[in-house]
Amino acid sequence: MTRRAALVGLVAVAWLAALGTGLPAAAGLADVVSVRAHCEEGVCVFSVAVRHADEDFEHYADRYEVLAPDGTVLGTRVLAHPHVNEQPFTRLLPGIRIPEGVDRVRVRAHDSRHGLGGHELELRLALPDGDAQVAAERAAEGS
């Protein structure tokens, strides 16, 4: 294979990976594919869907975190076991107090082998005088 052909092949693989195929991820990084939040009086319940090709207790998505814009972790949902046959899977994280002045959060997932680094989602919160419900989805995943 020529150097040019190898480079074209590498670019094609990177392009397809960036596009997303809707297939489960290779057993690598854990991706956040959707986030919903229901907030009242500055306290939110997050519903987060994570996709990861969990294999076993040695390699699985083991938590997700909700972060303020400055990187402060507002809450962590520990995932106690692999979800081999349930992908993507959705879990709740209740009771997260949103600090005054914070109008958006970032959600990221972690896996037991590779750590952080998968797809994250940012969620803009509408916290006027009561309920707010907002949603974000990773369009390429088609979830």
Helices (H) and strands (E) in the chain, counts: 1, 8
Q: Is the peptide bond before 69 cis (omega within 30 degrees of 0)?
A: no
d(CA 97, CA 82): 28
Q: Where are the domains of the chain?
A: 23-141
Share of the chain above pLDDT 70, in %: 69
Supply the mean pLDDT for the chain: 74
- Per-residue confidence (pLDDT) for residue 75, from 0 to 100: 97
pLDDT, average across residues 12-33: 51
Domain at 23-141: CATH code = 2.60.40.730
pLDDT, average across residues 37-52: 91
Q: How does pLDDT run across 106-138, given as a tens digit for each residue?
A: 999 999 888 888 899 999 887 554 444 445 554
| Residue, of 142 and 103, whose pLDDT is higher | 103
d(CA 43, CA 124): 14
| Residue, of 95 and 114, whose pLDDT is higher | 95
pLDDT, average across residues 26-51: 87
- Per-residue confidence (pLDDT) for residue 60, from 0 to 100: 85
Q: How does pLDDT run across 45-83, given as a tens digit for each residue?
A: 999 999 988 778 888 888 999 999 999 999 999 987 877
- Per-residue confidence (pLDDT) for residue 116, from 0 to 100: 87
Whether residue 6 has pLDDT greater than 90: no
